[in-house]
Amino acid sequence: MVSKNNGKDMVTDMAKVVILGAGHVGSMCALNLARLGICREIVLIDIVEGKADAQAKDVADATVFMDRMPVVREGSYQDCNDADIIVNAVGVSRKPGQTRLDLLDVTIDIMKDVVARLNQTTFDGYFISISNPCDVVVNYAREHLKLPKNRIFGTGTLLDTARLRLTLHQLTGVSANSIECFAMGEHGDSSMVAMSQITLMGKPLYQLQQEKTQIFGKITYDMLLERTHQLGMEIVIGKGSTEFGIGAALAVVCKAVLYDEKRILPVSALLEGEYGQKGIMAGVPAIIGKGGVEEIIELSLNEQEQKAFAASCDVIRTYIAKANAR
C-alpha cells in the first residue's frame, strides 16, 4: 500500500507486485519476493494459458513454509491499475551461443504489446525491467510509458556485479559482504569492471595487491572481466536458463524501493550527462529508495575504464536504434 506524500512516496504497508512473464525468471522473482515477506500480493501474468496460474499455485505452496503468506495468484493487466511495482520479465531465454542482444527482435515485439496494454491502465508505480537485452528493453519502455524517469529502470549490471563479487570471493576467500565492486555498462558482453574502485575489507584492491601479493597479486582485469561475462553462459549451457541469481537480485531491488533503503545498487538508469553519456540507459551505481533511482553515483573511473564504459554505451546505443527502427 502506497502512502501518497509528495507524489509517489514510500510504501507504509505491504505492497502489490505484478510480474509480467511467468517463465523461469518471473516465477523465481515471485518466489524470492514471497520469501522476503515484503508483499501482501504477488500477481503473475503470462500469455501462455494456464502457465501463470500453475506458477502462482506452486509459489503459494511454498509460502506455507514462510513467516508471511502473501496472496500469490494469476491476474490480468487490470491488476496493474493499483500495483505498486510492475516487474517486466517477458521474453525468451537465450540459447547456448546467443548473446542477450540476440534476443532484441523477439523481446521488442512483445514489448510493443506490453506498453500498449499498460498505457490503457492507470498504473503509477515503479516499473523494473529484467527482460533481455535489459538496457535496450528498459529504454524502449521508458520512451513509451508515461512514467517519471526515476521510476522506470532495469536490473542492469546488478547480476554482473554479483558474479564479480562471487569471483573475487572465490579467488581471495574474503566474504562477499566485505567486497565492494561494480560491473558497469551493458548487462551483457560489453560490460566493464571498475577495477580501480574495487575494495576488499575496506582496502583498495591495488593496495592489497602490494601488501599481500600471494593472495591478491594474481588478480587481473582480464580475469575478472572474463568470469563476469562467462558465468551466465555456463549456466545457460548447463541448464538452459538463468533464474536463481536474477530472481534474488530483483527481490533486493524491490525491497530497496519499498523500504526506502537508500541502497547503492548498479541498475540500468537514464544517464543525463553522468560519465559523459546522455539519453541512454546503462548499468551504473545508483541510490535506490522510495524515489526509485534517487541519485546516480559517479565513480572516479580512470581513463581506461572511462573508455571501456563509453564503448559499452555505444553498443547499447546501437541496439536502441535497432529497437526503434522495428
Task: Give catalytic residue positions.
Answer: 187
- Rg from Cα positions in the chain: 19
Asked if 148 and 107 touch (Cβ cutoff 8 Å), the reply is: no
Inter-helix orientation angle 24-36/51-63, to 10°: 30
The number of angstroms, rounded, from the C-alpha of 232 to the middle of its chain's C-alpha atoms is 14
Report whether 63 contacts 34 (CB < 8 A): yes
Gap between the Cα atoms of 115 and 320, Å rounded? 16
* CA 129/CA 135 separation, integer angstroms: 9
Q: In what order do the strands lie in the sheet with 292-296?
A: 71-74, 39-45, 15-20, 85-88, 126-129, 152-154, 263-272, 278-289, 292-296
Enclosing H/E stretch for 34: helix 24-36
Report the residue count for the chain: 326
User: Count of alpha carbons within 13 Å of 89, Cβ hemisphere only?
Assistant: 29
- Eight-state DSSP code of residue 147: S
291 DSSP 8-state letter: T
DSSP string, 187-205: SSTT-EE-GGG-EETTEEH
